[in-house]
Amino acid sequence: MKRIGVLALQGAVREHVQKLESLGCEAVLVKQENDLEQLDGLVLPGGESTTIRKLLDRYELLEPIRTLAQQRLPMFGTCAGLILLAKELVNYMPHLAVMDVVVARNSYGRQIDSFEVKLDIPQIGEAIPAVFIRAPHIVSAGEGVDVLARHDGRIVLAKDNHLLGCSFHPELTSDTRILEYFVSSMV
């Protein structure tokens, strides 16, 4: 059984936990440094990236998570989680700065502009539902980064070795294929 942490400071924590458990994984709520021990992977959920960053600092989790990423622990960042992983942010200072992508925050407008589309992702499947809520997008990706999906020409899903980042919220749909892809990528 894979033991996967879910950063449980703010955001779509419960939805990720439910999806991971439905896939037969043990979901571990990560609220402090010792919760990071003996994980097979870590999910950084969507929420509000500035708030999550403040909480990462308050609970002294930023450096331990960065260290685990540098040690190649598989990580999956959704929406705000992608923002946390990015090496660079447009007009903002980066947070973990471990995934070789440049990300623009709130690329798809305000909360009222939220929408859902179906994406065909060759490595994962067809007609995968993607919920965009104040979503970021990947402006550019480094040479070693696999671009997995685009929406309206913008990169919305990419993989940088052991790091997977997406602009949208797959945990808010009943489709588990993207999370399955993440779980299956773990050694």
Nearest CA-CA partner of 121 in 71, 62, 53, 170: 170
DSSP category for residue 25: P
25 is known as an active-site residue: no
In the structure, what pLDDT confidence band is assigned to residue 141 with cuts at 50, 70 and 90? very high
Which domain does 174 fall in, by range?
3-184
Task: From the candidates 16, 151, 166, 171, give the one annotated as an active-site residue.
Answer: 171
Tokens of 132: 């965009």
- Measured from the Cβ of residue 70, the count of other Cβ atoms closer than 10 Å reads 10
Asked if residue 111 has pLDDT above 80, the reply is no
> For residue range 145-187, what is the model confidence (pLDDT) as tens digits?
999 999 999 999 999 999 999 999 999 999 999 999 999 988 6
CATH number of residue 158's parent domain: 3.40.50.880
Q: Which of 15, 25, 79, 162 is catalytic?
A: 79
- What is the structure's pLDDT at 94? 93
- Which of 134, 83, 136, 135 is CA-nearest to residue 112? 134
Bridge partners (DSSP) of residue 157 are 149, 166
**AA identity, residue 182:** F
DSSP code of 78?
Answer: E
Total domains in the chain come to 1
Q: How many Å apart are CA 114 and CA 18, to the nearest integer? A: 23
The answer to whether the CB of 161 falls within 8 A of the CB of 19 is no
- 109 pLDDT more than 70: no
81 pLDDT band, cuts 50/70/90, is very high
How far is 165 from 156, CA to CA, in rounded Å?
8
Sequence letter at residue 44 = L
What values do phi and psi take at 138, rounded to 5?
Answer: -90, 115
Q: Is 143 a catalytic residue?
A: no
Q: Could you tell me which residues are beta bridge partners of residue 166? A: 78, 157
| Residue 114, pLDDT score | 80
Alpha-helical regions (H) of the chain: 13-22, 49-58, 62-70, 80-85, 177-184
Give the active site residue among 16, 95, 151, 169: 169
Question: pLDDT of 22-65, one tens digit each?
Answer: 999 999 999 999 999 999 999 999 888 889 999 999 999 999 99
Give yes or no for a contact between 136 and 167, defined as CB atoms under 8 angstroms apart.
Answer: yes
Establish whether 95 is a catalytic residue.
no
pLDDT at position 113 over 70: no
Residue position matching structure tokens 């060759």: 122
How confident is the model at residue 107, as a pLDDT? 74
